[in-house]
Amino acid sequence: MIPGILGKKIGMTQVFGPEGQVVPVTLLKTGPCVVTQRKTPASDGYDAVQLGLVEFVKASRISKPASGHLKKAGVDGAKYQRELRLGRGDRDLKPGDRVLVDEFRPRDKVDITGVSKGRGFAGFVKRHHFRGGDASHGSMFHRAPGSIGGSSYPSRVFPGMRAAGQMGSQQVTVRNLEVIEVDADDHVLMVKGAVPGPNGGYVVVRRAKR
């Protein structure tokens, strides 16, 4: 068994279940991946494997240190690399081994990590779902935050107060998504529900921990 796989988000669609119910799904182009490095407890203090997503990448888009790292493992064209911890029951992988999507099965549960869409500078209502005030005429309190700290005591705003700011472009993990279908020929994984990030964004698919 493999701990996970790397891929790209294709987009969302919907399929029909066995009883005719509509199921929203996300299509992921997962793999083929190749092992670029093996971490062992003896040399690194923990057991993990580094995977690289094999895709067409111009040589100029990969830095010289990364190119040397890939050449050492006998791999070419793997710009996107991520490390996955190995647990009990996981297959012992060596540099150069291929990791394919056909090791997943329908009804498997996976955790998917990606970078959410960037929304730019957003206010309280959009970013933190503040209710805001009345929209009626004469009201001067519409999309403001309200009171954020006492004036006499503590005479300051506490750290961590929810405020307007940059929204999105953060690493997000969605847990326990169900695998609906696996297309081993085209390296496509179909999972139930939404996956963070835009179409074409990189994702890490791990077997569910819980």
- In this structure, the answer to whether residues 62 and 145 fall within a common structural domain is no
What domain count does the chain have?
A: 2
Task: State how far Cα 194 lies from the chain centre.
Answer: 11
Task: State how far Cα 66 lies from the chain centre.
Answer: 22
- In this structure, the answer to whether residues 198 and 113 fall within a common structural domain is yes
- In this structure, the answer to whether residues 100 and 158 fall within a common structural domain is no
- In this structure, the answer to whether residues 52 and 130 fall within a common structural domain is no
Which of 171, 183, 188, 209 has its CA nearest to residue 85? 209
CATH number, domain containing residue 181: 2.40.30.10
- In this structure, the answer to whether residues 72 and 94 fall within a common structural domain is yes
- Decide: 84 and 37 in contact? Cβ < 8 Å: no
Render the burial of 34-64: b for 16+ CB within 10 Å, e for the rest.
Answer: bbbbbbeeeeeeeebbbbbbbbeeeeeebee
State pTM to two decimals.
Answer: 0.85
> Which residues constitute the domain of residue 137?
126-167
pLDDT digits (tens, 9 = 90+) for 40-98: 899 999 999 999 998 888 888 888 888 888 888 888 778 899 999 988 878 888 888 89
Q: Which residues of the chain have pLDDT under 70?
A: none
